[in-house]
Chains A and B, each alone.
Chain A
Amino acid sequence: MIELRDLTVRYGSAVAVDDVSLDLPTGKIYGLLGRNGSGKTSLLSALASYRRPARGTVRFDGADAFENPAVMRNTCFIRDSLDVNDSERVRGVLGFASWMRPGWDAGYAARLVEVFELEPRRRISALSRGQRSALGVVLGLASRAPLTILDETYLGMDAVARSNFYRELLADYLAHPRTIILSTHLIEEVADLFERVIILDRGRVLLHEEADELRGRGVTVTGPAAAVGDFAGGRPVLGEQSLGGVRAVTLDWRPDAAEVARGEAAGLTFGPVGLQELFIHLTLEAAR
């Protein structure tokens, strides 16, 4: 279990993470969501001992995490900026990780280098933004660290590379279960991977729920505009779209079976709500 208690991270007088307490059971894929400046990277930095919190603690299985060799050895934090030296070559960076990481899988790293079409002899300074991100993915996955944190690792990756990333992440997670925390803005793309979702807003935890519960929290109702209007009347609306006489409304409300039957009788269809819509609604609501 990873426990965050009263965690506060400050930069001078600015509070980036404000009194956050979380219990994170291990062996799951977490999605950490939040708008720009919501404190995601600061929270992850404290979690990975990159930054000592101004207040509060991070504990792994009861042991204080900061500067704890056993915990840090088992933690791999890949930042969007990538903590490697620009003058090094890709193979040098991977070689260094193989010296230091007890769980490093060199064969898997070599395969990922091929999947992401990285040139091992190329210097880091010569890599594109997407290639740097791909190298971050290789480092994060091949380390096989029990706690792997990937902070906006997709930046600059094209659609093919991102698809490869999600596929490899899921396959390796299933083969080698561990705790993975993904911070991302591309919510819809990654949503299916999440087992639990944490939403941060202005340094505070807005929501921490099982992803399935979150998905079932709302509903999308589609049908004739008038029937949809009648059904949705008075319910909290997350978003809506209209095309001709057809209207689709996303509601932050879970109808019971009788209500679904009533709606279907009126020609309505029901679908799940997207995490991104929920995220937008919740963060906007919090801002209000």
Chain B
Amino acid sequence: MSVHAALFRVYRPIIIPFAAILITVDLLITTLVVVGNGEIGFSMWLVLAGSAAKYWLLVVGVMLVVMQLRQFVANGATRHEFMVGAGVFGLTMSAGFAAVVVLGHALEGLVLGGSRGDGYPVLSAAGLLGEFGQVFPVAAGYLISGALIAAGFYRWGAWIGLAVMVGGSIPVGVADGLLGVDQFGAKAAGMPYAAALTLSLAATAVAAWVFHRVVSDVAIRRTAG
């Protein structure tokens, strides 16, 4: 079985309950706000699912290094094979989460209908791709940041790991700062989308290259499971 296929099987039992909890919490809170207020002036889905697309993927990036790298190498995969598989898995997860955020946002707008308050970020059909184009690079940035930060600690321990953490957080800072989406929709980036996307992807690509260099010959350590 390929590394990415195995990773999907490993994470499947985590993703499904996580999605169920996310949807339940969103429905519950949104219903409470609408019942209490009569309307909702922001997108609860963007708050919850938008945060999940970032922070959960950050955690997945960390777990890939701390838990899965050793597991795969111990079962006959090379570090390079693991990184390629983790890359396919990570990009698919990032795209999947971004798609869920955007489609959920559109669905939420439709379901709320007249309960949408003034500040609610209504998403048109034409806006679907645009919002995906913002959420996806941010999600990918968080994932690679988590992986690089974890790789720094895994390879060099605490002190150099802290230094790597500073560099490792650059994709998050650039992507979130330039392309971030909050509860009111897209944040103002202060620069054209194409430039913001280019900078974000460049920061993520550089971090991915550094990650590859850090992990390509790292010693397989005994880590806490």
Contacts and interface: CB of A to CB of B under 8 A. Distances in A.
Asked if chains A and B come from one complex, the reply is: yes
Interface of A: 45, 49-52, 66-69, 72-77, 79, 81, 83-88, 96-97, 99-102, 124-125, 145
B224 A96 contact: no
A124 B225 CA distance: 9
B5 to A, nearest CB: 8
Interface in B44-103: 67, 70-81
5 contacts: A72-B76, A76-B76, A83-B222, A85-B67, A86-B224
Nearest to A93: B71
Contacts of B80: 67
Contacts of A88: 225
Contact of B71 (A67, A73, A76, A83): A83
Nearest to A51: B219
B77 A72 contact: yes
Contacts of A49: 73, 78
B217 A85 contact: no
Nearest to A80: B222
A45 B221 CA distance: 10
Contacts of A66: 217
Contacts of A77: 74
Given A69-B81, A83-B220, A96-B6, A101 B74 contact: no
Interface residues of B, number: 25
A75 B74 CA distance: 9
Given A51-B219, A81-B222, A97 B75 contact: yes
A108 to B, nearest CB: 17
Nearest to A88: B225
B215 to A, nearest CB: 11
Q: Which residue among B1, B70, B78, B224 has the maximum number of chain A CB atoms within 10 Å of its CB? A: B78
Contacts of A69: 77-78, 81
Contacts of A97: 75
Contacts of A79: 222
B29 interface: no
Contacts of A101: 75-76
B9 interface: yes
Contacts of A67: 78-80, 216-217
A101 B72 CA distance: 10
Given A50-B73, A100-B77, A145-B76, A85 B225 contact: yes
Given A83-B70, A96-B71, A124-B225, A50 B220 contact: yes
B10 interface: yes
A68 B78 contact: yes
A99 B222 contact: no
